[in-house]
Chain A
Amino acid sequence: MALDVMAQADLPIPLDVAFRVEPGELLALVGHSGSGKTTLLRTIAGLWRPQVARVAVNGTAWLDTGARVDLPTHRRRVGLVFQNYALFPHMTAAQNVMAAMGTPDRGEAGRVLDLVNLHGLADRKPTQLSGGQQQRVAVARALARRPEALLLDEPFSAVDRATREKLYGEIIDLRASLAMPVVLVTHDMNEAQLLADRMVVIEKGRVVRTGTTAEVMTDPDALRAMGIREVAAMLPAVVVEHGADGLTRLDAPTGPLFLPGIEGPPGTRVRVRIMAHDMILSRRHPEGLSSQNIIAGKVARIVPGAGPGVMVQIDVAGHEILARITRRAAEQMTLAPGDTIHAILKSMSVARDHVARTPDLGREAE
């Protein structure tokens, strides 16, 4: 049940994009506003038709401009979560969910609402629900359609930060029960890195880079498109123990990490997003520093940027850490590939919402 998308258009924005999403995979379409990512989502749903396009699910064409195939939206089994949810205001949560079912089934609607943690709120109207609850109803409604492709259009942008963290966790949990391809449109790199298996970076309607988080993060073109301040490495880690002082010890392939505000019992697998501009590098193992996290590795590559900065890729036990330092510092330290280096990370610089549980998909995180 893979989703294949190809689209080319001149208007309203130039578009030339093709990608494939595997069953159960979550692909993030990342780009600035106006890059064309939402237009692509609308193309999949049949709400927009580019001049030349092909959208196929499991080999069956929903849209094929060459073969004059164009199923109307209501004939495509697609679940779409809108940015502002677009719930039916005159219906209760349960009625909203039932509206997406071929034959309305109250019991089934209740089960889907339970799945998104909305137990007991089935008879509330959208205006009686908080933003986060409305988003959950929108997700439930999209799932009730039993979609062959699930599309999420900036679904976390209209809620506050605390709610967003919670919703990330819920989407990650939900993914265990989803067998269809999922496409997430977002301009938030953190969101894309935490939630997605792969990402497609789009700039001005063109694909800059497609690949896993690690691949995208080390691609100079992708970095330019995303903005250099968004560059971060993703480390898989396991919760070991919560200290009495609020710091949690995590075991990562790079060694132990001590970070604040981590939730979940020992054994919980998480992804930690470590921003490249938060790293400090040292040739010798530093002593007398306040930092709790000093990671030793080898310089793999030094990628100069357009400005005064360079990106240092550090290999730590087969995993990559990125550090963005000034060109001047790199020259003073006479850094070269193969050098041993110590990367220093301040515990407090890792934001709470830069840590998320790993989707439990029965396979290793990359």
Chain B
Amino acid sequence: MDWTALWLSMRLAAWTVVILLPVSVLMGRYLAYRQFRAKGLVEALVMLPLVLPPTVFGFYLLVAFGRNSPVGDLWQGLFGHQLVFSFEGLVVASVIFNLPFAIQPAQRGFEAIPVEVREAASCCGMSPLASLWKVELPLAWPGLMTAMVLTFAHTLGEFGIVLMVGGSIPGETKTIAISIYDKVQGFDDRSAGIMSAVLVAISLFTIALTFWLSARMGRRLN
């Protein structure tokens, strides 16, 4: 059992969720409420990671963040090491790759709030921020929670892009999914089996927890 890899995957998933929570609130809310000309294009861009092979996506990220790229050079200058093949690089890749899993459910959550309820919040004297905090977030919460759970579980299971952008450096970029692959390649079926079972258990627990929480939330709302 590769505990280092499991811990790394959990950390990666946690960071991805922490970064994507505010992003999904802002983007989801914007896409839910606003109508603009390029909306279809923006929504398509957000969904793109869902349909592209992780290798294609990973390749572009390598080009964009690698040595001699503006972003890569800037990172190197600021932190003294490369962005690719590092944990930070993995977080950036994971955040981008999880955009559809985070933004889509959040957008649906905000779309489910009737327009008049938001207007009523303004008529009650609530500023946009107060309305977000007191009315919109509590009502969009099931959608946001789905977004975060999907992101967390999806990050744990991601393989292709992690391999492309991260390589397989133990303790730095070797996640549990990669570790399982390594074990299988090394004919260590027993370890691969245990780790796979642990991953199944964690993912199942997380998703079951969401269903339970949203059912409870639904009862509270009604």
Contact = CB atoms under 8 A, between A and B. Distances in A.
A301 interface: no
Given A82-B116, A84-B116, A89 B122 contact: no
Interface of A: 45-47, 72-75, 77-80, 82, 84, 86-90, 99-100, 102, 125, 127, 141-142, 145
Given A88-B135, A99-B134, A74 B221 contact: no
A74 B114 contact: no
A86 B118 CA distance: 8
B1 to A, nearest CB: 43
B27 interface: no
Contacts of A82: 116, 119-120
B221 A73 contact: no
Nearest to B114: A86
Given A89-B139, A90-B139, A47 B122 contact: yes
**Main secondary structure on B side of the interface with A:** helix
A5 to B, nearest CB: 17
Interface stretch (B11-19, B124-132, B192-200): B124-132
B170 interface: no
A74 B126 contact: yes
B44 interface: no
A87 B139 CA distance: 12
B221 A145 contact: no
Contacts of A75: 125
B123 A88 contact: no
B139 A74 contact: no
B222 A74 contact: no
B37 interface: no
B117 interface: yes
B221 A90 contact: yes
Given A86-B119, A99-B124, A100-B124, 7 more contacts: A72-B122, A73-B123, A74-B126, A82-B119, A89-B117, A99-B134, A100-B125
B221 A47 contact: no
B53 interface: no
Nearest to A99: B124
A47 B128 CA distance: 13
B116 A86 contact: yes
Given A88-B117, A89-B221, A90-B138, A99 B122 contact: no
A127 B222 contact: yes
A77 B122 CA distance: 10
Contact of A88 (B120, B122, B130, B222): B120
B34 interface: no
A47 B119 contact: yes
A87 B117 CA distance: 7
Contacts of A87: 117, 120
Given A86-B114, A88-B135, A90-B138, A74 B120 contact: no
16 contacts: A74-B122, A74-B123, A74-B125, A74-B131, A77-B125, A80-B119, A80-B120, A80-B123, A82-B116, A87-B120, A88-B120, A88-B121, A89-B117, A90-B138, A100-B123, A145-B125
Contact of B123 (A45, A89, A90): A45
A141 B125 CA distance: 11
A78 B221 CA distance: 27
B141 to A, nearest CB: 9
Contacts of B126: 74, 99
A263 B128 CA distance: 47
Contacts of B139: 89-90
Closest 8 CB pairs of A and B: A86-B116, A73-B122, A100-B124, A86-B120, A80-B123, A74-B122, A90-B138, A82-B116
Contacts of B125: 74-75, 77, 100, 102, 145
Nearest to B138: A90
Nearest to A102: B125
B220 A79 contact: no
Given A79-B123, A99-B124, A145-B124, A86 B117 contact: yes
A211 B145 CA distance: 55
Contacts of B116: 82, 84, 86
Nearest to A128: B222
B119 A73 contact: yes
Contacts of B220: 90
A92 to B, nearest CB: 11
A65 B210 CA distance: 49
